[in-house]
Amino acid sequence: MSEAASSATQAARPSSPRSGDFKVPRHVAIIMDGNGRWAAARGLPRIEGHRRGVEALRKTVSAAGELGISVLTIFSFSSENWSRPASEIHDLMGLLRRFIRNDLADLHKNNVRVRIIGERDDLDRDIRLLLEEAEELTRNNEGLTLVVAFNYGARQEIARAARRLAAEVAQGRLAPGDITPELFGQYLDTSDIADPDVIIRTSGELRLSNFLLWQAAYSELIFVPINWPDFDKAALEGAIEEYRRRERRFGGLAARAGS
């Protein structure tokens, strides 16, 4: 294993649950759900829910930086979302274009590093170039890392990693017995990003919906009943308070007596 790969593995390894250093999670991931329901409850078109969702995203990115969160991952567009009506996809792509064009300068000014995970090969060229521009412009920033899961599906990510490992084995560069969970993790989109400490889903739905399935192995899952457009700093702080009440054991025994 290379020195760089070894460093990435160390970075992804969770801290000991007995360290007590969990007041503010290092990595928060959010499934931003409920834009359509928010709009429907107000008799508004779905696109208005998505517009308000972008506003909630701006507030949440700002709040994450203020609270000292190191990594914020957002599930912005899944690989399954392409099955939505063409008009809605067109509106969503338009919002993405405007968000990057209008907000990228502010993100860069505030020292935010943007990372994109997901499949890019089949994206429209202008979208792909915008994503690449966001990453390249902010590559050396050292503040909050904003990970955008776009055209992303966890099963697809795992399958891509498996294909890459299979190719290494077929070419004789790797033996099957060399494949460990740690090595497998280095072939994922998030190879240099620590696993999320907590995953938050809005709208009250109680599932992960093909989001970070490998990385979520020891994440705390918090489901909040509000729709995404109503999510703000107070909601984020409330989710963190819930996270702080939990004891993370990573498969071990609880620290308290009798557990």
Q: Count of H helices and E strands in the chain?
A: 8, 6
Q: Which one of 33, 91, 189, 195 is the catalytic residue? A: 33
Q: What is the mean pLDDT of each run of 10 residues along the chain (259 residues)?
A: 38 38 85 97 96 96 97 93 88 88 94 96 91 96 97 97 98 97 98 97 97 98 98 97 84 55
- Return the pLDDT at 259: 45
- Return the pLDDT at 84: 87
Q: Which one of 21, 35, 81, 106 is the catalytic residue? A: 81
- Residues making up the chain, counted from first to last: 259
**Residue 141 annotated as catalytic:** no
Nearest-angstrom CA–CA distance, 149 and 159: 16
**Residue 81 annotated as catalytic:** yes
- Return the pLDDT at 11: 37
CATH architecture label of 25-153+194-244: 3-Layer(aba) Sandwich (3.40)
- Return the pLDDT at 16: 34
Nearest-angstrom CA–CA distance, 202 and 230: 9
Q: Is 44 exposed, middle or buried (0-12, 13-18, 19+ CB in 10 A)?
A: middle
- Return the pLDDT at 182: 97
Q: Which residues pair with 28 in a beta bridge?
A: 72, 198
Q: Specify whether the CB–CB gap between 230 and 56 falls below 8 A.
A: yes
